[in-house]
Structures are given as structure tokens and as C-alpha cells.
Amino acid sequence: MSDSGRTSETILRVEDLVVKFGLRGQVLTALRGVSLDLREGESLAIVGESGAGKSVFTKCFLGMLDANGWVDSGSIMFEGQDLAKFTTEKEWLRIRGKKIAMVFQDPMTSLNPLRTVGSQISEVLGLHEGLRGDDAKSRTYEILDQVGINDPEMRYRQYPHEFSGGMRQRVVIAIAVACNPKILICDEPTTALDVTIQAQILDLVKRLQEQLGLTIIYITHDLGVVANVADTVAVMYAGDVVEYGSAEEVFYDPRHPYTWALLSSLPQLGIKGQPLYSIRGTPPSLFADIKGDAFAPRNPNALAIDLMERPPYYKVTPTHYARTWLLDPRATPIEPPEAIKAMRAKYKRDAQ
Amino acid sequence: MARYVVGRLGRALITMFIVLSIVFMLMRLLPVETYYGARSDTMSDAVKEQILRNLGLLDPMPKQLARFWSETLRGNLGRSIVLRVGQENTSIIGPKAVYSFRFGIASLAISLIIGLSMGVLMAANKGKYIDRLGNTYILLINALPAAVYYLFIQLYITQLFKIPMLYDARNPVTWILPTVSMSLGGIASNSMWMRRYMVDQLNQDYIRLAMAKGMSSRQVAFRHILRNAFIPMSQSLPTSLLFTISGSLYIESLYSIPGMGGLLITAIQRQDNTLVQAMVLLYSALSVTGMLLGDLLMMVVDPRIKLVKEGGVR
Amino acid sequence: MGSSRQDKFQQLSDGFLALSEEEAERVSSYSDELFRPAEFDTEAAEKAGYSNYSYWGSTLRLFLSNKVSVFLLVFLAALLVFTFVQPYLPNQLHPNTIYQDPETGIHYRNVKPNAKFWFGTNNIGQDLWSRIWSGTRTSLFIGLCVALVTNVVGITLGSIWGYARKWDKLFTEIYNLFDNIPYTVLRMLITFIMRPSLFTMIFVMCLTGWIRMAKYIRNQILIYRDREYNLASRCLGTPALRIVVKNIMPQLVSVIMLQTALCIPDAIGSEVFLTYIGLGLPVSIPSLGNLINEGRLVMLVPAQRYQLFFPVIVVSIITVSFYALGNAFADASDPRNHRR
């Protein structure tokens, strides 16, 4: 995608990434040629259904694909190196926790239940910054403070089961940012938490981003979270990024039929007295080769060519792209659903 | 926490009471003829009856139970009626237990050290040659009746190295084979357990996080998985320890080691009922105690079981 | 014409991003027809789903892919058939008959394996070959009986234990009680009390065996019972028995088969052990335990060592094969292995 319209540096560039898995003797293509640019300091949200490939995508940045998966082709350029070409654990050890860190979904099971919380944070300091003993301890107290945990001295000595879910997630975040990584990946960081705690955690991450200059990737299927935190949004479907743009552009001016469907199914957009919208059909099987646009079979407004050839990215604005033939000038104009039109109208009004 | 301990202790005592009483009552099912000893055909009926009366066997069951408990709690486990007629069972069992204990401890140590190391090695090299070798070993030991491989070891190794077949207190060389044989089963189960545990843990979430931190697989294995593995292992440790006293029935018999196991076998074969009863009671008591200690040890070692601490959960 | 086409191309290529010039040219040459709406096939929308997973299919596939297991299965099946068919084959001798030279009347004692006595004879003149197969039949019989009873009793009681909440506590206490008595000692004790016999042996093994099966079944049921699909069934009023039989049982079949396969080596092992102590079967019933014991008595004489050898080899082959087969099946039926 073109660089124009951006101000900061690209720190991660993914090109045509193809990832496959061997499953019960067959090959499943989880990522079908994904390309993405990540700008320094931005918050990118990757949204999509379960199975769209969001987690697989980010696991590639840490080399943590399951044992039966592999990168088939494509590149992931980071700090002058191609992460997709890494083969040994040693190469990854220089990246994990140090340059790129990850916060996992379920705080209840992410921590080692038989070791103190403090020791698990200090461990990371020892690995990458060589801090031991009291040095590590005092730095850990600082970090615990930074993530909003009171009384760090006492908390250091406690075990995970003595913390609530929200606090455990803070600890996991603490571990992730302890060594000031460049990129922080949050895989559904609030899905397993209460609604009230969700907001706190998101605030914490935003605050840390400002303090430490982090670039953040959020993986989520919760559009509410996206609206809250994201600068840019990438919409994934069936192993491909189908739409990409700033949060405002994607929310208020979506162009891909899948994005329309996704946004339409938000309960908040439902009209009282009418049935809630849901997308017909199911995502395609990734075992077979997919011909044309993956979403076409479920799209009542699909064009003939959608069923034949995969669309390239069309430019809506210098910062907004969508992979759909609808944007071709020759395409029959298709109207987005009512709800989307309403949102677009509202956006235009607000802009004036 | 104190409540848990007291509760557990109480349960153990009740279990002990029930188990031993059941064993006692089971023993009462033995045909009375067996109590007459070696010269039963020359005894008159009156003498036979007197013997039974002395042993309290003619009383109603509740009275027998009461007498049994009052004697046992005073340390009196009856007297032998065949092997060493008239001698107190406790004094017969005592010295034998020491022998069994020595061999037991040695083989326990070996099986722990080798078994756990093997398990770790196998898990670390999962699927490769050493793992397959280890698994084959475990398979053979588990499948073959112990009698078979003990026998073969005794037969062939002694011939190969020209060492005497039976145990001799004065010749340390004869101590090796029994100890090694006894530890074979323990090695198999320890390594199997350890390997399984380590492999299971590899799929846990917290291991994923540890790897995402930037720890190498080896560091993760040692600092997280291995340390965690010892917690459940420690639960079975006291039981294993206590059972070293009971001795291996086979080995002691094969190598003529004067231990508890051999004593039990002889007692059974010669039908010395009181001695058999005393020994079975002892084994059961050891078992109950072992489990109790195991639970208590777990409690000490596993931070999750420390219930109700001040400051607690927020 | 030329310039408007050029304009069109320019217009299109401004919109394209990830295409090279040739590709952009190719795409812009597509006819306008293709950009009309297509027929919407609702069927196709619903059809594009996953799932080709069949539990038994995967289990079978995994099992068959392991050549060793297939070999073992065939081998054991053949062995079993042979064991029971053996007496009816030609030239077979009788296990308990003491053979003697018709001319001299001397008993054929300790004869090494030859054309007449394929495994030789023991020290009173009985044919070892037939004795071994007779013993194998006995041991297998014991093993199968134990497996059958343990399974039936264990599954039934285990199911009740797991499914009916109010009985759980009672059963758990009973289990803990049993667990505390070392079962080797228990077996010895009961055999001692009931006097050794075929029935006693089977009884004793069943007594200590059912509990383990019951506990395992109970654990599995506890896991599956509260799975959401079962909760839904209960809400709909499905009787408990049906839920257990149709939803839960299939999950347990693999476990049951594993335990059955392991029962045989276990039974043989126990039988050998009890025989060794003197609580085994009477000598008139040949069993593998008896044979090993008899062989042990003469093992120090090299010429007669074959009397130990043959029973031991047969025992080893049977136990190891059953055990390996059981393990192979357990591995194949473990859903975690189905990913590959």
C-alpha cells in the first residue's frame, strides 16, 4: 500500500503473507496473502470473526504459531530483518518480550499459579536487561506502580490466585511492557473481563502507550473496543484483510460488503421493532482454494466478477483501502444498507 | 489452614479405625482349624477349644473387636503361633523391617533420581530416539510380570558376572542386584509420570506467556515446568517412603533377604495367622499414614492450598 | 476511441494499488458485463461450512497408520485363535498325561524339545507344549473374566456414581477406604481366607479391579455430564439413562477398550505373583504362573532351563503385545492426537 498520507515511520511491514496448517492430513490456508503496514505510535485494531486469522497473523510476529503451522511465503519486515524467514529459536529470543510483546486473552490462566507475581515480572527483566536481585525488585515495584497496582511491595510476594481478574491482566500487561518493547500486541485483552474492568484496562494501555511510546495492535471482535482505542482498523475475513483505514473512515464510510454486514449486525444499529440483522451463511472452508472474493457467496449484492477473481485493493482515500470490485468505476453502483447510510450521513453532518 | 489440618487428621484416624477393623474382621473368616498349629492331629478337642479361647476367638465379634483395639493401642500385636511359637509378633517383625527399609530406601533414591531425569530427558527430546527408547523400557516393565524380569536378572546377571545369587550381609556385591531390581519399576513409573506431566504442561497458557516473554524452551522447562512438577509428585512421596519398609515380596524371596516381605510370604505359606494379621495391619496402617503425610506435604508445598490468609483475595 | 480508452485506463489505474502495470491493464480490459450483480444462491451461502471430522474415522485412520499396531492386532488375533484351536489340531498331546516309553515303561522325564515333544517335557513326563497352551487358555480365561466383570460392574457403578450427585459422597468415601488398603496385600489376604482356587483368583482380581474402572468412569462422567449439550438434553426432559448411553458412553469406549486390553497382562501378572507366593492355582490346572514356577525350580540346571524358558517367552509375548496394543489404541483414540 502507498506511503502517502502518513506522517510517521513504518516500523512493521507485512507483504503477501501466506500461512498454512497441516490438519488431519490436509492443508488449511489460514492467511491467504495478507499485506499491512504498521506506523510507529499508532493503535491498530484488527477485527473479524473467529477463524478469520487475526490471532494467527499476530502469532507470526513472535514465531508462536502452533506446531503444525508454517509460513508458506511472504515477508514480515521489522528493523531490517525478515521475521518470516526466522528458523531458530535463538533468533526469536531477541524479539520476544524485548522488541515485540504480547498480552493474552485469559488472565486467569496466563500466569504460573505456583510462583509469585513479582518473580514472574522480574524474570523478564533478568532475561533482557540483565537485572537481578534487588535491582530487579525495585524496578518491578516501579512497574507495578505504573500499571496501577497499589502496595507493590506486598503484591510482589503474592500469588496469582490472590489477585482478581482485572489485576491479573494488569500484571500480564506489566510483564509485557517491562522491557519497553516497540510493539505491543493485545489479543482480545478484555474479552474475559467484566465490563467495568474492561474500560480500566483499555485506559491503562492507552496511558502506557503515551508514556512509553508504544505501537499497539489490538485483536478484537468487539467493535466497541475498537471505537474506543483504535487509530486504524483492519477488517479481516477468511484469512485476508478486506478493508483498511482510519477508524473514522472504516466506521463511517465502509466500502466492503463484509464491513457493511459487520457493522450492521451491531445491536446498537438495530431499529426498534425490526429483527436484528445477522449475516447469512458461514465463512468458507479454508481447506479448499477460494475462488474470487471470499465473502461473495454470502453477499446478496455480489457482482459476477466477485465469484471469479479476487479483487485487488481499491483506494477510497490515500489512507483508506478496500478489497472489493464494487469500487471499480465500471461496477454497478450498489447501495449500502440503511444503517450504514444513516451513519455516513451523520458523519458528514458532524464534519461540517 | 489449621482447620484443614485437623480435619484431615481426623479423617485419617477414622479411616485407620475402619480399615483396621475391617481387616481384623476379615481375618476372622479364616477356618478355625488353622489356629491349632503344627500338631493339631494329636490334640484333643478340649485342648483345641482352649487354644481358641485363649486367642479370644470364641467370643462374640464386638467383644473381639474391643479386645483387639485395646491390645493394639497398647502395642500388642499378638503372638506367633507357628513360626516362633509364643514370641511377640512385634519383636519378630522389628528386625526384619530394618532390612527391608535399607533396601527400600536405596532403591527409592535410585528410582527417583534416574526416573525423574529420564522423564525430563524424554520430554525434552519428545519423539526422538531417546524418547522412544525410554517408552519401550516403560512398556516392557509395565507389561511383563515383575516375576519374569526379576528372575531373569537374577539368573543371567549373576552368571555373567560370576556373583553369588543370594544375599549375603558380608558381601556388598550381593547387595547390588536386589536394589537395582527393586528400582526398575519405580524408574518406569517416575519417568512416565514426569514425561507426561511435562508434555501436558507445554500446552498450558502460562507456558505460552513464558515463551512470549522471550524465554528459551529450555529455560521454560526448568524454571517453570520442572518446578511445578514437583508439587503433585510430592503427594506420593511419603507413601513411597513408607512402603520401603514393607519391602518387596518378590525380591526378598528371590535373594533370601531376611526382610518383612519374606516374612509375610513365609507366614502365609505356613499359616501363622496371628503373624499374618499383625503384618497386614501394619501395612494398612502404613498406607493410611502415607496418604495423610502426602496430603499434608502437598499443603505445605503448594501455595494455592494456603487457604484464608490475611489480606487475602482482592 | 483510443484516447477515451486511455482515459479509462488512467482512471482505473489510479484506483488500483497492488497490481503491476500488466495486471492493471488486464483488469481494465475486463468487459463491463462482469461488473453486474450476480445471481444470489442462498444454498451456496449456507453450504460453505467446515467439518469433515469424524471421531471414529480419525481414530481408525491413526490406528491403521501405525504399522506396528496393525501387526500386533493381527498377531494377537492369530495367537488367540490358535490357543483355542490347538487341542483340535492333529498330533497334539494331552497336557496332564504322563508320557512313558511304551517299551521300557520309563517316564519321559526332562526330555529336551524334539520331534515328539515340541517343547520338551517336564520332570514328571508331561508334554510342555500342550501344557503351555493349556496354561495360556487358563490365564486368558481368567483375564477375560476379570475384564468382563470389572467392566460391567465398574461401568455401571461408575455411571451411577458420576451421574447421581447424592451418591457421590458415599461412593467417594468407600473408594478412599479401599484405596488405603494396599491391594497386593488385600489380594493375598482374601486368597488366603478363601483358599486358592480358580474362582478365588478371579474373584480377588475383580474385587480390586472394579474400583479403578468405576472411578475413571465417574471422573469422565463428571466432565461430560455438565457439558452444555447435556444440560440442554436434561432441560428437554431426556431421561438420564438415554443421555448416559447416547452422549457419554461413546466418549468412554476408548477408555474401556484400553482398560480391557491392559486387564490381560495385569491378570497374568497377578496370577504369576500369587502362584509364586503359594496362593496360586492348584497344580492340576496348568497355568502360566504354575509353569513358570515349576520352571524356576529347575532353572539352575542348564539342561532343563528350557522348562523355564518357554513359559516365560509365551508370557512375555502375550503381555507385551496386549499392553502395546492397548496403548496404541489409547493413543489413536485420544482426540488431541487427531490434529495431525
Residue C337: pLDDT over 80: no
Chain A: nearest CA to C70, how far in angstroms? 20
- C226 and C164 within one domain: yes
- B106 and B60 within one domain: no
User: Degrees (nearest 5) of the Cα angle A326, A328, A334?
Assistant: 30
Among residues A240, A246, A285, A271, which one has the least CA distance to residue A258?
Answer: A240
Q: Can you give the pLDDT at residue C200? A: 84
H or E stretch at B18: helix B2-27
Q: Can you give the pLDDT at residue C176? A: 76
- C225 and C153 within one domain: yes
- C100 and C147 within one domain: yes
User: What does the H/E/C string look like for chain C?
Assistant: CHHHHHHHHHHHHHHECCCCHHHHHHHHCCCHHHHCECCCCHHHHHHCCCCCCCHHHHHHHHHHHCHHHHHHHHHHHHHHHHHHHHHHCCCCCCCCCECECCCCCCECCCCCCCCCCCCCECCCCEEHHHHHHHHHHHHHHHHHHHHHHHHHHHHHHHHHHHHCHHHHHHHHHHHHHHHHCCHHHHHHHHHHHHCCCHHHHHHHHHHHHHHHHHHHHHHHHHHHHCCHHHHHHHHCCCCHHHHHHHHHHHHHHHHHHHHHHHHHHHHHHHHHHHHHHCCCCCCCCCCHHHHHHHHHHCCCCHHHCHHHHHHHHHHHHHHHHHHHHHHHHHHHHCHHHHHC
> Which chains have at least 3 CB atom pairs separated by less than 8 Å from chain C?
A, B
Q: Can you give the pLDDT at residue B247? A: 65
Quick: pLDDT tens for A1-41. Answer: 444 444 578 899 999 899 999 887 788 899 998 988 898 99
Q: Can you give the pLDDT at residue A183? A: 94
- C117 and C233 within one domain: yes
Q: Which of B40, B60, B89 is the last residue of a domain?
A: B89
Q: Which three cell numbers stand for residue A196?
A: 467495568
- C61 and C21 within one domain: no
Residue A178: pLDDT over 50: yes
Residue C332: pLDDT over 90: no
Whether residue A236 contacts residue A46, with contact meaning beta carbons closer than 8 Å, is answered with yes
User: Which B residues, 237 through 256, put their C-beta within 8 Å of a C-beta on chain C?
Assistant: 243, 246, 249-250, 253
Q: Does any domain span residue C43?
A: no
- C319 and C228 within one domain: yes
- B175 and B50 within one domain: no
Distance between CA B22 and CA C117 in Å, rounded? 50
Sign of CA dihedral C246, C247, C248, C254: positive
Question: Residue A112 and residue B231: Cβ atoms within 8 Å?
Answer: no
Average pLDDT, chain A: 86
Q: Can you give the pLDDT at residue A20? A: 93
| Per-range mean pLDDT, top range of A75-79, B295-299, C109-113, C224-228 | A75-79
Q: Which three cell numbers stand for residue B288?
A: 493410611
Buried b / exposed e over C208-223, threshold 16 CB at 10 Å, is bbbbbbbbbbbebbee
pTM of the model: 0.77
Residue B248: pLDDT over 50: yes
Q: Does any domain span residue C51?
A: no
Q: Which three cell numbers stand for residue A303?
A: 457482482
Nearest CA in chain A to C48: A284
Distance between CA B79 and CA B91 in Å, rounded? 9
The stretch C285-308 carries a mean pLDDT of 82
Give the structural domain span for C129.
Answer: 57-339
| Per-range mean pLDDT, top range of A153-162, B169-178, C243-252 | A153-162
Distance between CA A238 and CA A32 in Å, rounded? 8
Distance between CA A175 and CA A102 in Å, rounded? 9
- B119 and B216 within one domain: yes
Residue B312: pLDDT over 90: no
Question: Residue A304 and residue C338: Cβ atoms within 8 Å?
Answer: no
Dihedral, C56, C62, C66, C69 alpha carbons, nearest 10 = -30
Confidence of residue A100 (pLDDT cuts 50, 70, 90): very high
Helix axis angle, B260-269 to B89-124, nearest 10°? 120
- B273 and B199 within one domain: yes
Question: Residue B250 and residue C276: Cβ atoms within 8 Å?
Answer: yes
Task: Return the domain boundaries, chain A.
Answer: 110-180, 256-351
Residue C248: pLDDT over 60: yes
Give the structural domain span for B70.
Answer: 2-89
- B118 and B75 within one domain: no
Nearest to C181 among B140, B143, B284 (CB): B284
Question: Residue A22 and residue C33: Cβ atoms within 8 Å?
Answer: no
The stretch A225-234 carries a mean pLDDT of 88
Confidence of residue C285 (pLDDT cuts 50, 70, 90): confident
Query: Cβ contacts (< 8 Å) between A164 and chain B: which residues?
Result: 313-314
- B163 and B71 within one domain: no
Question: How big is the A-C interface in CB pairs under 8 Å?
Answer: 102
- B261 and B297 within one domain: yes
Say which residue, C174 or A136, is predicted with more confidence: A136
Sequential DSSP letters for B104-129:
HHHHHHHHHHHHHHHHHHHHHTTTSH
Q: Does any domain span residue C112?
A: yes
Q: Does any domain span residue B102?
A: yes
Quick: pLDDT tens for B100-109. Answer: 888 888 888 9
- B179 and B49 within one domain: no
Q: Does any domain span residue C44?
A: no
Q: Which three cell numbers stand for residue B279?
A: 503384618
- C17 and C76 within one domain: no
Query: Cβ contacts (< 8 Å) between C190 and chain B: which residues?
Result: 26
Q: Can you give the pLDDT at residue A145? A: 92
Nearest to B18 among C177, C312, C327 (CB): C177
Q: Can you give the pLDDT at residue B309? A: 38
Say which residue, B32 or C207, is predicted with more confidence: C207
- C260 and C163 within one domain: yes
Nearest to A300 among C19, C40, C48 (CB): C40
Quick: pLDDT tens for B214-245. Answer: 888 888 888 888 888 888 778 778 877 777 76
- B78: region left, alpha or beta (phi > 0 left; psi from -120 to 50 alpha): left
Domain containing B122 — which CATH number? Answer: 1.10.3720.10
Residue C70: pLDDT over 80: yes
- C63 and C31 within one domain: no
Question: Residue B309 and residue A162: Cβ atoms within 8 Å?
Answer: yes
H or E stretch at B151: helix B146-152
Question: Residue B214 and residue A127: Cβ atoms within 8 Å?
Answer: yes
Question: Residue C49 and residue A282: Cβ atoms within 8 Å?
Answer: yes
Q: Which of B52, B71, B89 is the last residue of a domain?
A: B89
- B169 and B105 within one domain: yes
Q: Can you give the pLDDT at residue B272? A: 77
Confidence of residue A117 (pLDDT cuts 50, 70, 90): very high
Instruction: Provide the percentage of residues in chain A whose pLDDT is more than 70.
Output: 96
Q: Does any domain span residue C91?
A: yes
- B292 and B152 within one domain: yes
Residue A233: pLDDT over 90: yes
Instruction: Provide the percentage of residues in chain C whose pLDDT is more than 90.
Output: 1
Q: Does any domain span residue B206?
A: yes
Chain B residues interacting with chain A (CB cutoff of 8 angstroms) = 204-206, 208-217, 223-224, 227-228, 231, 302-304, 309, 311-314
Whether residue C273 contacts residue B250, with contact meaning beta carbons closer than 8 Å, is answered with yes
Say which residue, B1 or B7, is predicted with more confidence: B7
Nearest to C279 among B19, B253, B268 (CB): B268
- What's the number of domains chain B is made of? 2
Quick: pLDDT tens for C145-188. Answer: 998 898 888 888 888 887 777 777 787 877 877 777 777 777 77
Nearest CA in chain B to A110: B206
- C254 and C309 within one domain: yes
- C134 and C282 within one domain: yes
Query: Cβ contacts (< 8 Å) between C41 and chain A: which residues?
Result: 297
Q: Does any domain span residue C48?
A: no
The stretch B182-205 carries a mean pLDDT of 85
Distance between CA A264 and CA A258 in Å, rounded? 10
Question: Residue C312 and residue B151: Cβ atoms within 8 Å?
Answer: yes
- B44 and B6 within one domain: yes
Say which residue, C264 or A61, is predicted with more confidence: A61
Question: Residue B151 and residue C181: Cβ atoms within 8 Å?
Answer: no
Chain C residues interacting with chain A (CB cutoff of 8 angstroms) = 8, 11-12, 14-19, 23, 27, 30, 32-38, 40-42, 44-50, 52-53, 58, 61, 338-340
Q: Does any domain span residue B307?
A: no
The stretch A99-127 carries a mean pLDDT of 90
Question: Residue C45 and residue A301: Cβ atoms within 8 Å?
Answer: no
- What's the number of domains chain C is made of? 2
Instruction: Provide the percentage of residues in chain B whose pLDDT is more than 70.
Output: 92
Q: Does any domain span residue B47?
A: yes
Nearest CA in chain A to C340: A24
Confidence of residue A61 (pLDDT cuts 50, 70, 90): very high
Q: Which of B89, B115, B141 is the last residue of a domain?
A: B89
Question: Residue C315 and residue B145: Cβ atoms within 8 Å?
Answer: yes
DSSP state letter for A96: B
